[in-house]
Amino acid sequence: FCFGAVILYLDSNELTGSIPRQVKNLREIMDFRLRKNRLNGTIPETIHDMSHLELFYVDDNQLSGTIPETWDLMTRVQEIQIYKNNLEGPLPDSIHELKGLRVLYADNNRLDGTIPSSYGSLQEMHTLYLFNNRLHGSIPTSFGKLLSLRDWQAYNNQLSGSLPSEMGKCRNLEKLELHSNALVGQVPTELGKLEKLEMLKLYRNQFTGTIPQQVCAAKTTYSLGFLATDCNTDMGGTIECPCCNACYP
């Protein structure tokens, strides 16, 4: 490694082996990219010494093990992309210390555990991808504090409990994709307040009742262009939706 570097781009080079612990010596690095290689092993905990890091991209490799808990010292991080690996274990609670974090792509791994409620403090977060994992438990009510959130996709997990009405406070939300989980209860009326919401996918859950009139009204009053739920009652669907674009059993 070039220890004085501030940018390291090694994407798409068919690199093999593991990320060396010596990356801690890259103290001035701001932009670290090892995307689309064949790297294995773990993400070393020594990354916490990369105190100037802003962008961390190691997606589309064969990395395994857990995500390090050592993010609390990396206060400048703005984007983390670790998707399409074999990472497992929980989402680190320490990520909530990254007050400038805007993007977290952790989809297409083997992550389990619950979604930390502390992530509700990530005021700059606008994109959060957690889909195609094994996450379980409920959606934190603290997510109603994510006022910058525009795109949240957590489909194809094992999330349960109700969809918090607090999500109606995410005034900049444009996409909400929570299909293929085990969510229950009724769809919150408060989602009808989201003026910028364009896509809402809630199918393949266990919601019941009727889609609120306020949510249907958002299709004409606001930006909602696509709404999908389990509203094919002839095929065993559990919810009534007179305004859905697509109905699933």
Sign of the four-CA dihedral 84, 85, 89, 90 = negative
Q: Among candidates 128, 20, 9, 24, which has minimal Cα distance to 73?
A: 24
For the chain, first and last CA: distance in Å? 54
Do residues 223 and 197 touch, judged by C-beta distance below 8 A? yes
Work out the mean pLDDT of the chain and round it to a whole number: 96
Query: Residue 181 — pLDDT band, cuts 50, 70, 90?
Result: very high
pLDDT for the residue 1: 52
pLDDT for the residue 73: 85
Q: What is the pLDDT of residues 124-179, one digit of tens each?
A: 999 999 999 999 999 999 999 999 999 999 999 999 999 999 999 999 999 999 99
Mean pLDDT of all residues in 15-40: 96
Bridge partners, residue 246, by sequence: 228
- 233 vs 90, which has greater pLDDT? 90
In CATH, the number for domain 7-247 is: 3.80.10.10
d(CA 37, CA 20): 15
pLDDT for the residue 2: 53
Q: What are phi and psi of 224, to 5 degrees?
A: -65, 115
Q: What is the pLDDT of residues 30-83, one digit of tens each?
A: 999 999 999 999 999 999 999 999 999 999 999 999 999 999 889 999 999 999
Is the pLDDT at 121 greater than 60, yes or no?
yes
- Return the domain boundaries, the chain: 7-247
Q: Among candidates 92, 49, 88, which has minimal Cα distance to 68?
A: 92
Query: Residue 8 — pLDDT band, cuts 50, 70, 90?
Result: very high
Is the pLDDT at 15 greater than 90, yes or no?
yes
Is the pLDDT at 196 greater than 60, yes or no?
yes
Is the pLDDT at 234 greater than 70, yes or no?
yes
